[in-house]
Structure 1
Amino acid sequence: MDTTMQAAGAEQETREPVLDTVDRVSELCFGLYMALTFVGAVSAVTAGEDAGRKMLYSALGCNLAWGLADAVMFLVRTLTNRDRRVTLAMAVQREQNPAVAVQALRDALPKALKTLVADSELEMIRARIAASPMLHTRVRLVRADFIGALGIFLIVVISTFPVALPFVVLSDVKTALIVSRVLTLVMLFGAGYALGRFSGVGSMRAGLSMTALGVLLTMAIIALGG
């Protein structure tokens, strides 16, 4: 097995999930808030026998559009970041002055890490980049990127149903609106719980904080006519 195949195998074994917990929770909350806002606005003007079905179709159409837009922007962001990393690596590889190359690496670090990484560590990275084979200048999207975009689209679309389905199941619009908002808050608690568990700050506290945020946003939606 040649070096390329070995590198590809190692990358496959260590590859991170396409969407991490923050990505998934963020997209879920985005879809919930979009659907909640849209349902609140439509419920104020929708009446009749098919009001619940119209509500579901309207909210679903809204999140289909936003899910598609968010998925496309995920691909754009992924390609842009990948291009930026390759451009930096090529600049470091071509730079003849090691000090200039190390400074370029330091400038690319997040602000919080600049004081934590020594020049000697950056020099080791520079040396590895300089010793690597010539990098490809053309970046492209791979299968995992499209899977991530599809995941974002599905999360946003699926988040519509807990918010909008009560209007199909329940005939009374006011009761359905209350059930819809309760389900939304339950899902927000679950989203906050997952974030707290991921970050280590405390699952219950994060869940309750996300729920409180949801209550405030729901109150704002009601105040604005939702």
Structure 2
Amino acid sequence: MQATEFDEQARVLDPVDRTSEVVFGLLMAMSFVGSLSVAKAGHEEVRTMMVTALGCNLAWGIVDAVMYLLRIRVERTRGVNLLNHLAADPDATHAQALISDALPPRLAAAASPEVLEMMRLRLIELPVQKQHARLGAEDFKGALGVFLLVVLATFPVVVPFMLLDSAHLAVRVSNLVALAMLFVAGGVLMRYAGGSSWRGGVTMVITGVALMAAIMALGG
């Protein structure tokens, strides 16, 4: 039970997935800010932009949350089926091949037949599971976390428009906030990878700006 709970928390807190959700929501909000014509923007145009950005991120937050649950269900079903197949398969060589296929490529390449056999013996000691692929409360908590990450990434970008009367100044401040968030996101990812946070932050800013230019060029 403790292992399962730890696994679910790891899913929710995985730096790569969660930072990607934030960057995705941030880029969507930036695309709406970038589409705002500062020269012609009035209070109504700014309000429309904020409502549209929030509504779009709400929609995509729901989509991401549903896809999160779907991925959990598929992965869990695959894991349960693997355990059941290992328990029912008398052919050790075939069972080792199943385990190898389930491992990441580099781990599979490094795992010797002896290691795979040890894993097989350990796995078949686990009780056969038949009905544990269903979603639980922790899964829905994780989906809520995904939803909130995508939606909340909108607010720092649109807050300047709520606080400042000048649309021109608000756009500048919003862009600075977005660049700062991209820098932090890149730093988190690179620190997780064991590299330089500063280099990761700069790389993410450059990547984000390039992606925004592509989005705007394509009419996003």
- Equivalence for 2:44: 50
Of the three residues 114, 117, 128, the one matched with 1:120 is 114
State the AA in 2 paired with 1:151.
G
Whole-Å Cα distance in 2 between the matches of residues 114 and 220 of structure 1? Answer: 38
Select which of 96, 101, 108 maps to 2:90: 96
Gaps of 5+ in 2: none
Deviations 1:23-62 (A, max 9, x none): 2211110100011112323x14973333322221111111
> What is the CA-CA distance between 1:12 and the residue it aligns to?
4.6
Q: Unaligned 5+ residue runs, structure 1?
A: 1-7
* Equivalent AA in structure 1 for residue 192 of structure 2: F
* Deviation digits for residues 80-139 of structure 1 (CA, Å, limit 9, x no counterpart): 011111111111110011111111111222222222111111111211222332222451
Separation (CA, whole Å) in 1 of partners of 2:4 and 2:101: 26
Q: Summarize the Cα distance change of 1:112–1:165 in structure 2 as closer, same or farther, 3 Å threshold.
A: same
Moved over 4 A (4+): 9-16, 221-226
Considering only aligned residues, what root-mean-square deviation do their CA atoms show, in Å? 2.2
Give the distance between the partners of 1:82 and 1:163, measured in 2 at CA. Answer: 36
CA distance in 2, matches of 1:121, 1:34: 46
Alignment of 1:131-146 (within 5 A): 131-146=125-140
Cα 1:16–1:165 change in 2 (3 A) is closer
Name the CA distance, whole Å, in 1 between partners of 2:216 and 2:142. Answer: 34
Q: What residue number does 1:33 align with?
A: 27
**Superposition TM-score, scaled by structure 2 size:** 0.89
Match of 2:210 in 1: 216
Looking at structure 2, the residues matched to 175 and 225 of structure 1 have their Cα atoms a distance apart, in angstroms, of 24
Q: Which moved more, 1:12-21 or 1:25-34?
A: 12-21
Aligned length: 218
Aligned residue number for residue 67 of structure 1: 61
Report SS of the residue matched to 2:110: coil
Aligned twin of 1:206: 200
Q: 1:110 to 1:144 in 2, by over 3 A?
A: same
d(CA) in 2 for partners of 1:213, 1:120: 44
Indicate the larger mover: 172-181 or 77-86: 172-181
